[in-house]
A and B are shown apart, each in its own frame.
Chain A
Amino acid sequence: MAVCIAVIAKENYPLYIRSTPTENELKFHYMVHTSLDVVDEKISAMGKALVDQRELYLGLLYPTEDYKVYGYVTNSKVKFVMVVDSSNTALRDNEIRSMFRKLHNSYTDVMCNPFYNPGDRIQSSRAFDNMVTSMMIQVC
């Protein structure tokens, strides 16, 4: 499963970023931040296509020796980044895609909360935390 899940605002600051184990969270912060370069490239490339129903899933952003970084972007330019361990070869593209869709639905619920200010960090949504936790648990 995912070792790091991040929700990035339109202005490229983190709304939510969580990683496991927490000792290496700095490394994941750097990794996710660097991956925004590729996200911006893919978004601008998609924009040139001028398709109405754009693909939200950006696919593999870039591989590293130990991890694979996948991207997803909503219609409102909020980016989701998911980092998966390279040794976890059981994860397929379809599974990554469905995880992103579930993350998107949960994020939509957070946005529908009238007490949540758009642009604030997501830090008081228990449902969102539980959903992220479920995607981070190692199923073996």
Chain B
Amino acid sequence: MDASEEPLPPVIYTMENKPIVTCAGDQNLFTSVYPTLSQQLPREPMEWRRSYGRAPKMIHLESNFVQFKEELLPKEGNKALLTFPFLHIYWTECCDTEVYKATVKDDLTKWQNVLKAHSSVDWLIVIVENDAKKKNKTNILPRTSIVDKIRNDFCNKQSDRCVVLSDPLKDSSRTQESWNAFLTKLRTLLLMSFTKNLGKFEDDMRTLREKRTEPGWSFCEYFMVQEELAFVFEMLQQFEDALVQYDELDALFSQYVVNFGAGDGANWLTFFCQPVKSWNGLILRKPIDMEKRESIQRREATLLDLRSYLFSRQCTLLLFLQRPWEVAQRALELLHNCVQELKLLEVSVPPGALDCWVFLSCLEVLQRIEGCCDRAQIDSNIAHTVGLWSYATEKLKSLGYLCGLVSEKGPNSEDLNRTVDLLAGLGAERPETANTAQSPYKKLKEALSSVEAFEKHYLDLSHATIEMYTSIGRIRSAKFVGKDLAEFYMRKKAPQKAEIYLQGALKNYLAEGWALPITHTRKQLAECQKHLGQIENYLQTSSLLASDHHLTEEERKHFCQEILDFASQPSDSPGHKIVLPMHSFAQLRDLHFDPSNAVVHVGGVLCVEITMYSQMPVPVHVEQIVVNVHFSIEKNSYRKTAEWLTKHKTSNGIINFPPETAPFPVSQNSLPALELYEMFERSPSDNSLNTTGIICRNVHMLLRRQESSSSLEMPSGVALEEGAHVLRCSHVTLEPGANQITFRTQAKEPGTYTLRQLCASVGSVWFVLPHIYPIVQYDVYSQEPQLHVEPLADSLLAGIPQRVKFTVTTGHYTIKNGDSLQLSNAEAMLILCQAESRAVVYSNTREQSSEAALRIQSSDKVTSISLPVAPAYHVIEFELEVLSLPSAPALGGESDMLGMAEPHRKHKDKQRTGRCMVTTDHKVSIDCPWSIYSTVIALTFSVPFRTTHSLLSSGTRKYVQVCVQNLSELDFQLSDSYLVDTGDSTDLQLVPLNTQSQQPIYSKQSVFFVWELKWTEEPPPSLHCRFSVGFSPASEEQLSISLKPYTYEFKVENFFTLYNVKAEIFPPSGMEYCRTGSLCSLEVLITRLSDLLEVDKDEALTESDEHFSTKLMYEVVDNSSNWAVCGKSCGVISMPVAARATHRVHMEVMPLFAGYLPLPDVRLFKYLPHHSAHSSQLDADSWIENDSLSVDKHGDDQPDSSSLKSRGSVHSACSSEHKGLPMPRLQALPAGQVFNSSSGTQVLVIPSQDDHVLEVSVT
């Protein structure tokens, strides 16, 4: 009852974006708890669960508490949420039942009635308890509490609508607990009310949207409704949901614009089709642009106004969401979209107005973002903002061109009027940026005010954009902006600044192989270089453009004509040359040599035919095409002889060059592969390996490609080689496409020539291919005249005509008429003249050029051969027949010893060494017309036959045998064999025993001839014989000339038989046969067959009492090891020199084997003692056997019989020999003087007795 109501404060309604909660009842009480209430309410979050499957969220609730008034309640139909009171609270601290009944109850009843009248069911009654006031009522016992009363009176079933707040101003646990319960209840009720009302609002909004096809529907009206929903979300700090509302409005409007473009337009869109009168850009510095919002509400906004307001709201929310980079991205899309929408709606826009709007908007967005972020953040997110910078640069450039600020002469009056109109459309600057020095408004106004200001702003923007693109790695975009900048510089007549950007862009396009951008940039670069006066660069670029097929024919001809015009004008300095790469002018396709092996002799003519593919669109007259040739003399020149070159350098003579299909590398994989080769170098003397290694043949190709790709637009620094050796072709017109160009040169110096450079000169412009690859070489050789004579057969045979081939290599000498070869005649060799001999003349490529008859004249000493006329470096070939006279070789005076049937060992050795054919050398000296020195040629002839002879005896009858052996490969026919005595004996007869007159002798076979010697009186001491036989090749029927017979001369001495040796073996006495192991008797009977002869007169002969005797030594030799000689096997006998004188020797031998055994050999030697005095004391009738004497078996083959005839000389020799004690000597008897009549006889020997037989039985 004592409580008095304070006067209510005035209602303060603010746009603080908080839910409205009304407070009724005790205002003083509410004021006391309001600070704590407003502080504690948003402290704890609440889970907000929503319908339609949307995810629950945790939100912090704040409220705007206002005093309760009836006019705050929404009227029927009012759907506003911002001014909607979501909760009503009644505050009271009444604790007296009487006071409650008297005043509080009535007040509550009235409050409730007002809420019900407005259909509001969200209310809460708060009862604040105060312990201080309770003390006053302690005397009265309450029957029921106030809380229970209020709940019974007003809450009915909703007992939770009445809460108690105990001592809210105290600081105690009980108070805190009470606050917590109250706040939880407050949040719950507030959220429930909010959810319910928000859902209703959304349903109403959705219903309104579904009616958008109705005639009276308006987008602006709907815009306001949905934006209120966005405001509500923003009020709850749900910025994401708020943004969704604006995005939906954005999409809805865009869809309507698209439909308008498709012909299905809504009526309300006509409001947005009014002409654009203002283009001051986006406004992003206010949270809500109320001016634009009201214009939308009044349906007076333009398209740009709507878009500007919509984006400003989105920008604000995105910045709240800490997403400034999305602002930049959305801004770029928005600006592009606005331009498109204005086109779709066919809105008329003054020229440049949109450019101003876009420019200002870009800068506004960029400055807004910079205001929210620090420098580091901006630098690390350039990728998000560079698009806006680029777009602003583009629009500023467009404005500059439109207002005449880029033209050379500056803006004209029309440009100035346009500028004034554009500036008028900007309007006045807004208050927010009035104090900002670099506001977008100020920047644009300044840029359009003057040419200098525009240039400054445009360059600043361009450079900033290029730097940004470069910093984030977008090189291509940076280069593209650079091209725009270059275009600006070219318009401002500053080509030196444009060149840098054009070169950079072109390098990028070349590196990645983009043809059209390359062509376009090159055209710009050509114009730039022309203005800069860079003649070389301009001409090179022009040549590249003239050969570029991406240009039109007229453009190509234009650039080609630029080159020709410059080339034709006289140069300031006569020796000045412009050197350009050739690959853009013409390409070398293939090269052809004639002769095809690229080998030519000194003085010869070499043709080089090349195919050049001209890249120019018109025929070009070239003054000269020059190939610079590098000449080198090979160190290993021994291999570079004419024969080696002609044999080893055979090829078709065609070299193909790989075409450069594009001036830039198509792919890294298409680079030429390494061409590695093994290199071996051998010493010329012994062909041993000197050096080995690996070389890369095309290393220059790899380096050249790298060089050309890096500095293709610049002159490549081609060094023009001015060598002494050039191939030149003058006044050639190159047609577009393939051209054949032929170079002719005469070879002068021998060596290797390498084609190095190919140059084509058009006036003072030289196109150079600096290095011709693959390597192109030709060789020049020089050759001395040579004469070569070789036999046509493997070996020349003596005695028959043989063919010899003459080869004259003229070399550098020219055979003139009258030149001839002068051959000296050899004594034993004939040069046969034939009337059919012909000479053939060949060229150095082995082609027959002519043929002539060969004239040969022969005199006693010289044979003259006339040579046919032949030019230099030709070959003359002809054949001749030569004949070497056959004759047996002289045996050096030594004659074979006649005698035994088996030849002596010496004879065997001689036969073994004589198996090869004997050769005869004939030296011919030839005088050649090209030299003063004679050429000596040796021809070696082989004698085809080998001849031996032997003496055969049969008692005193004598035979001579001649053996002819064919050692050659040919078969011969022998005929007319003769053996004649060339001595003086007239009583000697040689009786031939041969029956055939024709006898073939095949290769490697022998033929034997036998004659019998007969004489009537005393036989001569020696016999001189000559054997001759006619021969001819068996294959030839008839030879041109008759061949001389083959002759063989030999000498036979001491052929008369003096002794007969006969051996005989007898079995032991009493036995019939000889037995193995038993001793047998060997009787050797030596018989003298003639009286004293001249041959017996030597130192072995002794004379006593009319009797002559000589000393002989006999020896029993068993070569077959069939006999064992027991006891003595040799002895010396004194043999009387008388016919039929016989000496018998007895020995014992033992057979070692059974069967028919041949008899042992018995040999006789002449015994020559040196003690004649002793021998004179010997008895003539007794035979002395001196077994103990050791003899020298090497007899003297040259007995001096005449010196031993005199007795006085014998005595003197004996006296001298006696003093020195010399040894006796043995002298072998000639084969003809001893006849062994037991030769071939065999003796039957039976085995031993039975006790030597072993019996072996095998079971």
Contact = CB atoms under 8 A, between A and B. Distances in A.
Interface in A20-36: 25-26, 29-30, 33-34, 36
B247 interface: no
Contacts of B383: 41
A43 B512 CA distance: 18
B332 to A, nearest CB: 7
Given A26-B517, A65-B336, A87 B344 contact: yes
Contact of B516 (A9, A11, A29, A37): A29
Given A9-B667, A30-B517, A87-B343, 4 more contacts: A12-B512, A13-B666, A14-B514, A14-B515
B670 A13 contact: no
Interface residues of B, number: 33
Contact of B512 (A13, A41, A62): A13
A13 B514 CA distance: 6
B480 interface: yes
Contacts of A65: 335-336, 339-340
B473 A37 contact: yes
B997 interface: no
Contacts of B387: 62
A96 to B, nearest CB: 16
A64 interface: yes
A33 B514 contact: yes
B477 interface: yes
9 pairs of A and B residues whose beta carbons are closest in the complex: A13-B513, A37-B474, A29-B516, A119-B667, A12-B512, A37-B476, A34-B476, A89-B258, A37-B477
B474 A119 contact: no
Interface in A56-95: 62-65, 86-87, 89
A63 to B, nearest CB: 5
28 contacts: A11-B512, A11-B667, A12-B512, A13-B514, A14-B514, A26-B516, A29-B516, A29-B517, A30-B480, A30-B517, A33-B509, A33-B517, A34-B476, A34-B477, A34-B480, A37-B473, A38-B474, A41-B473, A41-B474, A63-B332, A63-B336, A64-B336, A65-B340, A87-B261, A87-B343, A87-B344, A89-B258, A119-B667
A30 B333 CA distance: 21
Contacts of A34: 476-477, 480
B1182 interface: no
B270 interface: no
A40 interface: yes
A33 B667 contact: no
A26 B474 contact: no
A78 B698 CA distance: 32
Contact of A33 (B339, B344, B472, B476): B476
Interface residues of A, number: 25
A62 B669 CA distance: 32
A87 B472 CA distance: 30
B478 to A, nearest CB: 9
Interface string B451-490: 0000000000000000001001111110010000000000
Given A13-B514, A26-B517, A41-B474, A119 B669 contact: yes
Residue of B383, B473, B476 with highest tally of chain A CB at under 10 A: B476
A62 B472 CA distance: 15
B636 interface: no
Interface in B833-858: none
B1257 interface: no
B379 to A, nearest CB: 17
Contact of B670 (A33, A36, A119): A119
Contacts of A12: 512
A25 B520 CA distance: 12
A11 B339 contact: no
Given A13-B667, A89-B258, A29 B474 contact: no
B340 A86 contact: yes
A26 B520 contact: yes
B668 interface: yes
Residue of A13, A36, A64 with highest tally of chain B CB at under 10 A: A13
A14 B513 contact: yes
B517 A40 contact: no
Contacts, number: 66
Nearest to A89: B258
Residue of A11, A25, A65 with highest tally of chain B CB at under 10 A: A65
Nearest to A36: B476
Nearest to A14: B514
Interface string B508-529: 0100111111001000000000
B514 A29 contact: yes
Interface string B318-362: 000000000000001101100110011000000000000000000
A87 B257 CA distance: 11
B491 to A, nearest CB: 19
Given A11-B668, A26-B520, A119-B666, A33 B473 contact: no
Contacts of A89: 258
A119 to B, nearest CB: 4
Interface in B658-704: 666-670
B477 A87 contact: no
B477 to A, nearest CB: 5
Nearest to B335: A65
A11 B339 CA distance: 36
A111 B721 CA distance: 47
A62 B474 CA distance: 13
Contacts of A62: 387
Residue of A34, A41, A120 with highest tally of chain B CB at under 10 A: A34
A65 B391 CA distance: 9
Interface string B249-290: 000000000100100000000000000000000000000000
Contacts of A11: 512-513, 667-668
A41 B476 CA distance: 12
B1188 to A, nearest CB: 109
Given A11-B668, A41-B383, A33 B336 contact: no
A61 to B, nearest CB: 11
A41 B340 CA distance: 28
A82 B474 CA distance: 19
Interface in B141-174: none
A25 B477 CA distance: 18
Nearest to B669: A119
Interface string B220-240: 000000000000000000000
A89 B476 CA distance: 28
A12 B512 CA distance: 6
Contacts of B343: 87
B702 to A, nearest CB: 18
A13 B669 CA distance: 13
A33 B506 CA distance: 13
Nearest to B391: A65
Contacts of B339: 65
A122 B379 CA distance: 42
Residue of A11, A12, A30, A38 with highest tally of chain B CB at under 10 A: A30
A135 B880 CA distance: 90
Contacts of B480: 30, 33-34
Nearest to B520: A26
Nearest to B478: A37
Contacts of A33: 476, 480, 509, 512, 514, 517
A64 B477 CA distance: 13
Contacts of B474: 37-38, 41
Nearest to A85: B340
A12 to B, nearest CB: 4
B495 to A, nearest CB: 22
B1116 to A, nearest CB: 100
A32 to B, nearest CB: 9
Nearest to B518: A29
B965 to A, nearest CB: 76
B221 to A, nearest CB: 26
Contacts of B336: 63-65, 86
Nearest to A119: B667
Contacts of A64: 336
Contacts of B258: 89
